[in-house]
């Protein structure tokens, strides 16, 4: 686990790991020079399985993850984000699966999506099965929740670990490099709760994430064609490609619409508003959804009653 300024969530995240039904593990936590009281909260725990480290300066989470991998002693590496929650049987079920399926080197779990207050507002479709997961991954989509994965350390080291220069899409790049050589899969059980907050990632970082994602896709195609990608060949990234605001806006709208459909209007208002600031011409439906979230609760209740009436649900 790499942690940076997550004092509101890290206690719950750590508790979710320490409360696992599978008990035989080491829990490596690296505080990436947090400026809040994240480090103090980490030090409240005295469980002998915990190994705590603190970076002298902020290095970025992928560098911290590689650092943790290098000092780890187990044959499996399980990830956990510092603001998410693992359900109690997660590690047990992943270890059991990997022990029975030695051909699989990367194993995620299905997940639930929660907001900053821990309210689950969306349950994504389950994607499972080795061939299906690879099909989606090779088509350019990331079916894994990063914090839910468990990996075989030997294979992770063989492919070179996280390529930190591709942060924050370093996970997608790693999954592709592992799946090119080995089998990967996702458990159908929802054993992970992924937290998403409207202000967790800045506009600048969204830009970097999308650009890094495009590079990872390009590198995958290059390795298929030439055996090596641009980064492997030259040790640096190629010039970036321009990313239209429409790409950002659609991503924001996706999450905002899920919150809206789940009835979580406060979160929907923030995400839909952010999408419209990126692109005011997304469509009338987006504007109507956003305007609806601005209505007082009493007006929304009246609207729903009237709507049910005219739909015949009296």
Residue 301 has pLDDT above 80, yes or no: no
Partnered with residue 150 across adjacent β-strands are 78, 107
Residue 29 lies in a domain: yes
Let me know whether 131 and 9 are in one domain.
yes
Residue 256: its pLDDT value, please? 85
Residue 205 lies in a domain: no
Let me know whether 54 and 188 are in one domain.
yes
Residue 56 lies in a domain: yes
Could you give the C-alpha distances from 164 to 67, 74, 100, 212, 237, in angstroms and in order? 11, 22, 32, 11, 12
Token pair for 263: 């009835």
User: Among 37-41, 48-52, 301-305, where is mean pLDDT lowest?
Assistant: 301-305
Let me know whether 287 and 143 are in one domain.
no
Q: Give mean pLDDT, residues 207-219.
A: 88
CB 3 within 8 A of CB 12: no
Q: Which structural domain, as residue segments, surrounds residue 306?
A: 244-314
Q: Which residues contact 14 (CB under 8 A, 6 or more apart)?
A: 1, 27, 29, 42, 45
Q: What DSSP state is assigned to residue 118?
A: S
When pLDDT is cut at 50, 70 and 90, the band that residue 245 belongs to is confident
Residue 116 lies in a domain: yes
Let me know whether 186 and 268 are in one domain.
no
Residue 314: its pLDDT value, please? 47
Residue 202: its pLDDT value, please? 44
Q: What is the count of structural domains for the chain? A: 2
Could you give the C-alpha distances from 110 to 94, 144, 269, in angstroms and in order? 12, 8, 27
H or E element: which one contains 3?
A: strand 2-3
When pLDDT is cut at 50, 70 and 90, the band that residue 309 belongs to is low
Helix, strand, coil shares of the chain, percent, nearest 5, are: 50, 15, 35
Parallel/antiparallel/unpaired status of strands 2-3 and 27-31: parallel
Residue range 77-110, pLDDT digits in tens: 999 999 999 999 999 999 999 999 999 999 999 9
Residue 222 lies in a domain: no
Token pair for 246: 């429409």
Q: Give mean pLDDT, residues 19-24.
A: 98
When pLDDT is cut at 50, 70 and 90, the band that residue 307 belongs to is low
Residue 165 burial (10 A CB sphere; 0-12, 13-18, 19+): middle
Let me know whether 90 and 163 are in one domain.
yes
Residue 198 has pLDDT above 60, yes or no: no
């Amino acid at each position: 686990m790499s942690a940076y300024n997550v004092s509101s969530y890290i206690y719950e995240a750590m508790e979710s790991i320490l409360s696992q039904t599978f008990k035989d593990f080491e829990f490596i936590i690296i505080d990436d020079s947090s400026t809040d009281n994240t480090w103090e909260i980490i030090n409240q725990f005295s469980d002998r399985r915990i190994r705590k480290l603190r970076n002298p300066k902020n290095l970025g989470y992928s560098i911290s993850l590689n650092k943790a991998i290098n000092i780890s002693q187990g044959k499996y590496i399980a990830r956990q984000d510092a603001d998410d929650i693992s359900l109690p049987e997660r590690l047990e079920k992943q270890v059991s699966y990997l022990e029975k399926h030695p051909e699989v080197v990367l194993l995620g779990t299905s997940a639930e999506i929660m907001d900053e207050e821990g309210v689950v507002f969306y349950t994504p479709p389950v994607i499972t099965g080795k061939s299906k997961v690879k099909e989606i991954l090779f088509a350019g989509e990331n079916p894994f929740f990063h914090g839910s994965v468990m990996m075989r350390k030997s294979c992770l080291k063989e492919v070179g670990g996280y390529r930190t220069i591709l942060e924050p899409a370093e996970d997608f790049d790693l999954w592709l490099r592992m799946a090119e050589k080995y089998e990967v899969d996702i458990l159908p059980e929802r054993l992970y709760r992924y937290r998403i907050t409207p202000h967790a990632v800045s506009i600048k970082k969204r830009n970097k994430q999308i650009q890094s994602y495009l590079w990872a896709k390009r590198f995958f195609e290059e390795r298929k064609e030439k055996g090596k990608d641009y980064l492997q060949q030259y040790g640096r990234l190629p010039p970036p490609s321009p990313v239209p605001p429409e790409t950002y806006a659609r991503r924001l709208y996706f999450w905002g619409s899920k919150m809206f459909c789940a009835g979580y209007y406060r979160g929907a208002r923030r995400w839909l508003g952010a999408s419209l600031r990126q692109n005011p011409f997304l469509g009338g439906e987006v504007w109507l959804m956003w305007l609806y979230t601005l209505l007082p609760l009493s007006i929304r209740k009246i609207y729903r009653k009237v709507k049910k009436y005219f739909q015949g649900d009296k």
